[in-house]
Chain A
């Protein structure tokens, strides 16, 4: 007897073998998508290379962390490759925009609040602020992948 509960997990009662087994849908990591993600990240860094004079280390570090998290934690999940690459590129653009806005605030803080305020914004608050955009874009990506998966399942179900 096999039935599907509301969370989508499969409940299998194998009374013939005198056991009751609860199996959950197993996710297989998509290594091909992950490889494409690594390639896409490498291309983006080649583009950033000439921009080194505009981008400082903190921006590059935060974008690298974002790309690492995105490629290794989101690309292996089920979902269309095109959408994943699109989200990765969009995330990088958001990261760059975020960096320029943060730098502008930093520059303003030096003029009005002094160098100490700039240091605090850059070193202490900076990672926390960067973290906000990283988690937000990653969540958005996961949301879009989950929606695509749901639609796919609905199609498969007729």
Chain B
């Protein structure tokens, strides 16, 4: 039942994105577009290679500068990040820098964002990572969603900037395509739970303040906030046309570190929000079902891995009668191979809707990332259980390292233009 629900979910999302999309419409006020004051938080820790790129972009945004306030949070950087940010702050009035000392800083992105939140003046608070590169009119597109008073948070689309670099960046780009163009888009269309992704998105300031800011004890503070928003009676809206480029991880080691943090964080959220989600009176049944599946999504690879191991073991041994019930794992292992065509379908259709041509050849290789994620999720669960039993924190915020290779794609694009 559990596995079939995921199978059905993938197919429903993909077919919705393909055939039954409603289009995204936002009502605007009379005579003028809706443009409240906006603050953008950019947490940066040792990002000297990429910070210039996003700050330059902040000067090129089409949103009225008198309503825009950009706050760079220098999270105790030991490189040139601070100097570069100060350089921009001196030149542009709407850019400010907040410094965190060596004692306070370096405790992760949520802590940095909370320190920046104290200085926010705008009605809407956005967050962009230092390695991101948004569209010029992204704020207009995202802010339009807040005209609806039920919308508490908004999420834009993330696309990979350095896709041609390595096999890992290509596979991450495919995952992103499926995740945003199909998954998030369909959730928004079906009135389910689009997820706030931690960046390229924002909140009403009043809401984020009432929720206590970003959860410093959570490794997936974005998922945590998504559920807090829904439990508070608001919703998250996904805006597919509000695009932003990111530098994806380039090798398997970085991929492991990043996904491991996501897996642990997501599992933390599952333990924290599952019961409040079920009990909540603010959510409809379909939102509860989607929320339940979303919270448990990182347990699926573990279940599939277990089914494979158990299935193979049962073939090799003569099992006693009490263990025969475990034969039920065999259909799961069969499902996980043949039935699990659904995520590949989702990614393929995402690329098709984006008008891509050659990337489909890489889709079978996503099987590799699935096996990799099986190991990552199993390790994450073991770490969480051990830390729960021993009381020792076995996980800490692992910063994703960025180089500046994405810059060359932007330079080339600007030259061509």
Residues of A within 8 A of B (CB): 5, 7-9, 11, 15, 18-29, 62, 65, 69, 73, 77, 116, 119-120, 123-124, 127-128, 130-132, 134-136, 138-140, 142-143, 145-147, 149-150
Contacts and interface: CB of A to CB of B under 8 A. Distances in A.
Interface residues of B, number: 46
Contacts of B19: 26-29
A114 B351 CA distance: 44
Contact of B315 (A15, A120, A127, A138): A120
Given A131-B338, A140-B361, A18 B29 contact: yes
A142 B23 contact: no
B305 to A, nearest CB: 12
B400 to A, nearest CB: 25
* 3 smallest beta-carbon distances between A and B, as pairs: A143-B360, A128-B337, A139-B363
A24 B24 CA distance: 9
A146 B360 contact: yes
Contact of B334 (A7, A18, A127, A134): A127
B338 A139 contact: no
B26 interface: yes
Contacts of A140: 360-361
Contacts of B312: 120, 124
Given A23-B24, A26-B21, A130-B337, 12 more contacts: A7-B354, A9-B240, A19-B26, A19-B27, A21-B25, A22-B239, A23-B23, A24-B353, A26-B19, A69-B341, A124-B311, A146-B355
A143 B312 CA distance: 35
Interface string B106-121: 0000000000000000
Interface string B328-345: 001001100110110011
Given A22-B24, A127-B337, A131-B338, A138 B239 contact: no
A27 B353 CA distance: 9
Contacts of A139: 344, 348, 360-361, 363-364
Contact of A124 (B24, B30, B308): B308
B167 to A, nearest CB: 16
A120 B21 CA distance: 43
Contact of A20 (B21, B144, B316, B364): B144
* Secondary structure type dominating chain A contacts: helix
A15 B31 CA distance: 8
13 contacts: A7-B243, A22-B240, A62-B338, A127-B334, A128-B337, A131-B367, A135-B341, A135-B367, A136-B364, A138-B345, A139-B363, A140-B360, A143-B358
A22 B145 CA distance: 12
Contacts of A128: 337
Contacts of B333: 124, 127
Nearest to A23: B23
B300 interface: no
Nearest to A7: B354
B297 to A, nearest CB: 20
Contacts of B23: 21-24
A99 to B, nearest CB: 14
A101 to B, nearest CB: 17
A158 to B, nearest CB: 18
B382 interface: no
Interface string B237-261: 0011101000000000000000000
Given A29-B19, A146-B360, A134 B341 contact: yes
Interface string B306-327: 0010011001100000000000
Contacts of A25: 353
Contact of A143 (B18, B29, B341, B357): B357
A87 to B, nearest CB: 12
A143 B356 CA distance: 8
B398 interface: no
B395 interface: no
B262 to A, nearest CB: 24
A9 to B, nearest CB: 6
B28 interface: yes
Contacts of A124: 308, 311-312, 315, 330, 333
Nearest to A151: B357
A19 B25 contact: yes
A25 B239 CA distance: 15
Interface in B1-20: 18-19
